[in-house]
Amino acid sequence: MFMNGATERPDRSPEKLSGGRRAIAHLDLDAFFASVEERLDPSLEGKPVIVGGGERGVVSTANYIARRYGVHSAMPMRTARRLCPHAVYVRGSYSVYKEYSSRLMTLLGEYSPLVEQVSLDEAYVDLTGTERLFGPVVATAREIQRRVDEELSLSISVGLAANKLVAKVASDFEKPRGFTVVRPGEEAAFLAPLPVERLPGVGPVLLGRLRDRGVATVGDLAQVPFELMRLSFGEAGEVLAHRARGIDPRGVTPRETVKSISRETTFQEDVTDTELLESSLLELAEDVCRRLRRRRLQARTVTVKIRYSDFATHTRSHTLAKPADVDEIFFREVLALFRKGRTRRYRIRLVGVGVSNLVPRCWQDDLFDQELPLLRELGLKLDLIREKYGRNAIRRGAAESSSSPPGSGGAPSGDGSSSG
């Protein structure tokens, strides 16, 4: 019916997988953060490794050895230490994981233009129609798994099926180093024996309600008539009824374009010093603007966020007459917004800068503007130098003093681009 490990049966001609239908691979790195740590420090081999800690004090992930002791993601570190006191505990570093993540996504992009990144370590790849270039899709999926192993030194689990839902369940079927192929027409039979909570979308609450109705496996759920599912659970019930039968019409859609870019800083001690606050804001603005340019985008709306010591949070936005990607323009706006927006005399706990209303960069716009191209050229040159020599290679006057603010540390507490 389906295959895992290396036990492919030749009589089932798996290379026909995509014949007339879609062939979708779902790939998910095994114990991602912990595997990266093991790779960077060979002395960790064979030991339980637990990555986590930080502000929230929870486990990010545990390698498979540590999982044998019952340690898992989101568990309090205290509990992990009790269950597995002899594990190696690592704080982890997000930037390193990010780097591995982008290497994975770049590799996947070699096989299809349709790569949908779901999280740092997980993506769908639509391999439909790639046979001409790369040969049978099962062999291609195998090759991807082998290359991730060789080039990233990380193990990844792969599921291959005619739709996203089944591919995802398949990649999780035999972790770690899983390789599971579900051929067209065999989706429902593959899913049927699995516990119903293995279906994406069945969370703890729904699981309780399903169990109350005597539904334990996906097969049990597939027996429930569509109409009854809709009456019991509404629209979600209908989706679930389809999923239980291995039906999923969703396509693989490359990540949506970014809708906003933002960064914020939480001070270690709440701050009143205006100079320090403003220079921190400019530093954030500089960073946001650099990301904007790197994505070849321009923004029209600038937002400044202020959180006071009592956690009251105020944001203030301004929309420019036309999109921009030049530091100086944002600096002006950010300072103006901050000065207008700081209406309380409380100490400040956090400041943030965001841009939204993004559009692709359009050089022609500025032919009418004498000043902008020069400023932009300066910004791009600074970006290049920073990329080559590191972020701190060059700092402009105002951002200077906040590089290590006395008594604040200015640890970035959140940053990101949001989409959707």
If the CB atoms of residues 194 and 320 are measured against ligand TTP, the closer one turns out to be: 194
Nearer to ligand TTP by Cβ, of 30 and 325: the residue is 30
Q: Residue 116 binds what, of ligand TTP, Mg ion, none (CB under 5 to 8 Å, by partner type)?
A: none
The conformation of residue 391, written as its DSSP 8-state character, comes to: G
- What one-letter code names the amino acid at 103? R
Joined together, the tokens standing for residue 41 give: 């420090």
- Cβ at position 51, least distance to ligand TTP in Å: 7
Of 202, 150, 159, 200, nearest in space to 178 by CA: 159
Strands (E), 325-377: 348-360
CA atoms within 13 A on the CB side of 55: 6
Q: Using CB distances below 5 to 8 A depending on partner kind, what does residue 327 bind out of Mg ion, ligand TTP, none?
A: none
Q: What, of ligand TTP, Mg ion, none, does residue 61 touch, CB below 5 to 8 Å by kind?
A: ligand TTP
Amino acid at site 247: I
Pick 116 or 327: Cβ nearer ligand TTP: 116
DSSP for 97-138 reads HHHHHHHHHHHHHTT-S-EEEEETTEEEEE-TT-HHHHS-HH
Nearer to ligand TTP by Cβ, of 58 and 335: the residue is 58
CA atoms of 347 and 338, how far apart (whole Å): 14
Work out how close the CB of 35 gets to ligand TTP at its nearest, in angstroms, rounded to a whole number. Answer: 8
List interacting residues with Mg ion (CB under 5 A).
28-29, 32, 121
400 is catalytic: no
Rounded least distance, CB 242 to ligand TTP, Å? 25
Six-digit token string for 97: 């994981």
Q: Which residues bind ligand TTP (CB under 6 A)?
A: 28-33, 60-61, 73-74, 120-122, 175-176
CB of 32 to Mg ion, least distance (A): 5
Backbone angles phi, psi at 126, to 5 degrees: -85, 110
Using CB distances below 5 to 8 A depending on partner kind, what does residue 60 bind out of Mg ion, ligand TTP, none? ligand TTP
In the complex, least distance from residue 127 CB atom to Mg ion, rounded to whole angstroms: 20
- Asked whether 199 and 244 are in contact (CB, 8 A), the reply is yes
Which among 37, 38, 116, 122 is annotated as catalytic? 122
The burial class, CB within 10 Å (0-12 / 13-18 / 19+), for 96 is: middle
| Partner interacting with residue 33 (select from Mg ion, ligand TTP, none; CB below 5-8 Å by kind) | ligand TTP
Which is closer to Mg ion, CB of 28 or CB of 327? Answer: 28
Give catalytic residues, as residue numbers. Answer: 122
